[in-house]
Structures are given as C-alpha cells and as structure tokens.
Amino acid sequence: MNPVSTEDIALDAPPRPLWRGLIELSISVVVVAAIALIVGFITATSAHAQGKGELRIGYQKSASLFVLQKAQGTLEKRLAPLGFSVKWVEFPAGPQLLEGLNVGAVDVGHVGEAPPIFAQAAGAKFVYIGYDPAAPRAEAILVTKDSPIRSVAELKGKKVALNKGSNVHYLLVRQLEKHGLKFSDIQPVYLAPADGRAAFESRNVDAWAIWDPFQAAAEKATGARVLADGTPGVVNNHLYYLGEREFAAKNPKVIQALFEDSVEQGIWLKKNLSQATEIIAPLQGLPVDVVELALRRYEFNVKPITREVAGEQQKIADTFFELKLIPKPIKVSDAVVLAQP
C-alpha cells in the first residue's frame, strides 16, 4: 500500500555579488542577523501552517477508504470550519509511512497491524488514535489453482512467500500453530508483494501469504485458491489510524472530524459499493472486479482504541519479539494514550 509525493522546499542563497559587496563593507554581522531573522520568521510561519492550519495525511494506494476520501474531497469540507486544509501524502507502504510520521512529514496515517510495532520498537513518537473492525478474510495463504496442497499442515517443508514482518507474517505463524506446526517447519521466502506474486505464478514457491488487494488480484487473474485466511478466529487483521503524538494531543477536534468523515464515507462505500469501486479502481490502477472483491472483505467503521484491541496488538508484538523480528519487547499501551476503559 510510487515514491512519496512530498514537496522539497529550499531557500535560495542571495546572489554572490551582494555577498561580496557586503563582505567588502565589513557588515557581515548585520547580514547574519538579518538571515537569522528571516529564517526564524519562515520557520515560525511554516510551523504554524503545518501544526494548526493543515492536516497532512499519509496514505497508501491500497488503503481504499483514504483513496475514496481524497477523491471525494469530503474531509476538506468538514475541516474548513476549523480553519484546516488537507494535504495528502502518498507512501508506497506502511513502514515508509511510519517513518514519515516519525520525522514530521505527516500528522496522521492509516496502516496495518505490523508497521506500528516495528516503529514503536525503533522509538517512533506516535499514538494509536483509532482502528477499523476486524477483516480476517482480507489476508490469506494462497496456493495455485492446481496445487495438490489442501491443508496448512501440508506446508511442512514447503516454500512459502511472504513479506517479512507484515500482517501476513503473523497470520502464517498462527495458522501453522493451529495445524500443529512451527514457523521453523516451513521454508519462508521473504518477498515484497510484486516479487511474491512472480514467484507464486512461476511455481518457485508452494504458497504465498498476502493481503488485499494483492490477494484479490491473484485470485481473479490466476485462479489462486485460498488455503486459509484469518477465520475462524485465528487473526483479526485490524487496520489502525495513527497520529503524531503532539499533533493528536493538540488537535482533538481535527482528529474527531477525521473519524466522523471516515465513518460516513465507510457507510457510503458499503451502501454504494459499485459506485465506490468505479471511483477507487482507476486510482489504484486495478480492475474493477478486483477492487470490489477486496472492498467486500474490509469493514470501514473507525473507532477509538480500546484496551482489548491494544491487548490483541500486544500479542502480535510479543510474537514478533519471539521470532526476533524486533530487537526488544515493547508495551503497546505506551502508545495508546487515548485508550478507553
């Protein structure tokens, strides 16, 4: 879930002849003071614009609801009375989005379960501000349509492609446990989605753990068969809304407006699935039938983080530490300052 579409801002240095003249006149102290004053003014103005007048949203093309909201312009209208504009910043995937959040390039973002865990382990300063309901069917372990493999238990000794440290990493671990296997019983092949699909189609791996809309694309284009997904009760596959810690604390009305717009657009999407698909598909660069299948497997109804949901996220964090995917144990609750009783 295309390079980051951020804008680089540079201050051009004054023309060299002017500098030379000033140096010759021995008033460099005045110049330094003037430059400091100008830079200070620009910095203060920029901070004001970004911190109080602009909501910068990090999104991925695979995050269908944000794509819809961006296309519809509904959030811009909702935030106008608060004096806020909206800037949409595209990222290729969750980890890059979290890095953008950590360095102050965006104020909020929407990602899956795994990226926040890695970001927190790396010391990123963010807070969970909301989550979408479980979507356990929106990620799965796929096999080719003619594969002889009929059970997860039959993956023992087999090659399974997956994106390391992603949501499907956790799905695969839990499905293997359910069928009496350990992660060490398979041969993991760590590949990004595009490379994973290539390996899957060329039969260089025996199975592929992947999420929507890549999952739906493989099903529609190749007839891939779902060997197992997050059901029944194996994983939840929540999606999370994250905010830069200071921004979320200082702008609760902006966060609330984002919640309200996301809920309304999610309801509209589900009631007008065909129309929403027609809007989203070209923006994601995917066929309409692929996008519609993926949308049917997601729920869009953002809610504040609860202690129960934070506890579920903690289980994933503990699992990743046990697998040595993160360097140290973390407490998810440390990043859930808006948790409900």
Task: Give 57-132+238-335's CATH code, choosing from 3.40.190.10, 3.30.530.20, 3.40.1010.10, 3.80.30.20.
Answer: 3.40.190.10
Amino acid letter at 326? I
Using the structure block, give the residue that is written with the tokens 């360097």. 327
Q: What is the pLDDT of residues 267-314, one digit of tens each?
A: 999 999 999 999 999 999 999 999 999 999 998 989 999 999 999 999
Are 283 and 247 in contact by the 8 Å Cβ rule? The answer is: no
Could you tell me the pTM of the whole model? 0.79
Q: What is the pLDDT of residues 127-148, one digit of tens each?
A: 999 999 999 999 999 999 999 9
Which pairs with CB-CB distance under 8 Å and at least 24 residues apart come from 220-226?
220/287, 220/289, 220/290, 220/293, 221/290, 222/144, 222/145, 223/144, 223/145, 224/142, 224/143, 224/144, 224/145, 224/200, 225/142, 225/143, 225/144, 225/145, 225/147, 226/140, 226/141, 226/142
Q: How confident is the model at residue 31 (pLDDT cuts 50, 70, 90)?
A: very low
Amino acid letter at 249? A
Q: At what angle do helices 167-178 and 114-121 cross, to 10 degrees?
A: 110
What is the CATH topology of the domain spanning 136-229?
D-Maltodextrin-Binding Protein; domain 2 (3.40.190)
57-132+238-335 and 136-229 agree in CATH topology: yes
Per-domain residue ranges for the chain? 16-48, 57-132+238-335, 136-229
Are 90 and 2 in contact by the 8 Å Cβ rule? The answer is: yes
d(CA 58, CA 98): 9
